[in-house]
Amino acid sequence: MTHDLPAAPERGASRPFGRLITAMVTPFTADGSLDLDGAVRLASHLVDEQGNDALVLNGTTGESPTTTDAEQEALIRVVAEAVGDRARIVAGVGTNDTRHTIELAAQAEKAGAHGLLVVTPYYNKPPQAGLLRHFTAVADASGLPIMLYDIPHRAGTEIATDTLVKLAEHGRIVAVKDAKGDLTATSWVLARSDLAFYSGEDALTLPALAVGAVGVVGTSTHFTGVQTKQMIEAYEAGDTNTALALHRRLLPLYTGIFRTQGVILVKAGLAAKGLPAGPVRPPLVDATGDELAQLRADCAAAGLSLPE
């Protein structure tokens, strides 16, 4: 199979949501209720101290499977009011029900979001024609730019290359959070479309940049934001030695944050730093003492400190 390839776009020419994006955890109070004041504090820290260009709210790292629609709307509203003048707010609205996803997209737009993250419908495993219909319906119904979220190991279904290329024809589908881990497939989509790709796996950020990605939607970036942005900027400036050195330095935390489910360790680390986090909601469980000790070791290996 052969393809006619367009000329390669200028490096870094299209970054609809900037370079560095963190999928923010949702802070809860000790009794497990939504901590809106904590969310404002955490969002401000991520933007002003960690250098994020955008934040994803209500993603999986934000525990969207266990937060209500009303909680998600409130979170978007307060964070957009707090930091929306200096960072893009991207609302996770994807479900495995097209009608519900459209409702959440409308809710997010009214609450002040600047963009939408729409994950592949999970569990019901629609065919590619169903994915095309789902994503197109959401894009048709919303006025916001959309980042697709391709994560087959969670969703059970990948967004195939041809489907992504076809979806790229829609004016509001502008980006992909790529957690497929297949840089060959990523390369083909980038060669055949103008979609902006963001690595959805922290440790693959630098390799993804090498095939044309523009940034990352990260989890460890709650802690590594400054250094990760330096890595991206070094690569874009042609300083590949510095970019590679930063990649290798941060690798222990890029991978260590996922020793268990990512939000568990992020919340444990934030709490250790005195930042808002709170407990996780069931069926997740909070980090054990051993897991927190290992996180401290992974931070130290990455040249970062986590208070005792």
Q: Which residues are catalytic?
A: 149, 177
| 117 three-class SS | strand
Tokens 């006025």 belong to residue: 143
CA of 133: how far to CAs of 105, 126, 140, 266, in Å? 16, 10, 10, 35
Determine if the peptide bond prior to 127 is cis (ω within 30°): no
Strand 173-178 versus strand 146-150 pairing type = parallel
Q: 265-273, long-range: CB within 8 Å, 24+ apart, which pairs?
A: 265/291, 265/295, 266/25, 266/61, 266/219, 266/220, 266/222, 267/25, 268/292, 268/295, 269/222, 269/223, 269/295, 269/299, 269/306, 270/25, 270/42, 270/222, 272/296, 272/306, 272/307, 272/308, 273/306, 273/307
Q: Which of 137, 166, 154 is nearest to 200 (CA)?
A: 154
